[in-house]
Amino acid sequence: MSRKNDRKHAFSVVFQRGFESGGLDDVAADLEYYLENFADTKASEPDFILGEVQGVYANLETIDKYIGETADGWDIVRIPKVDLAIMRLAVYEILYADNIGKGVSINEAVELAKAYSTEESGRFINGVLGKIARKLD
């Protein structure tokens, strides 16, 4: 198994939580439920996945602020939930995961978009994340 697969699991939980109002305390239970009932492959690093999802929701206000300020002409509530979940995960990694390169986070986000959204979404996500990464350099 790979980090790529684990990131897909993290994306799935972030996406699912986009429809809920559960707090940060519920993340571990949501992840456990997802892995037991919906995951198509086994997680290799459940702690990595949990850290990613908790990181997104612990920093959601900041992450959404970056996305909202950077997605030209798009109000964050208008961004499709799949694309928003992908960007939230990637922006978390760009801002807070020092052990993951920005380019890796952006590339993985584009790959998730190609698999779960549209080709246009991949370009949109790449553009937004690229702008965020450049702002931080």
Asked if the model's pLDDT at residue 22 lies above 80, the reply is: no
pLDDT the model gives residue 37: 86
CATH of 3-136, one of 1.10.10.10, 1.10.940.10, 3.20.20.70, 3.40.720.10: 1.10.940.10
Q: What is the DSSP letter of 6?
A: H
- Residue boundaries of the structural domains of the chain: 3-136
∠ at Cα 103 (31, 27), nearest 5°? Answer: 15
CA-CA-CA-CA torsion sign (127, 19, 17, 62): positive
From 55, 115, 59, 53, select the one nearest 125 (Cα to Cα): 115
Structure tokens at 42: 């086994």
pLDDT the model gives residue 115: 96
Structure tokens at 117: 């959204």
Q: What is the pTM of this model?
A: 0.92
Q: Which of residues 19 and 112 earns the better pLDDT score? A: 112
* Separation CA 44–CA 25 (nearest Å): 23
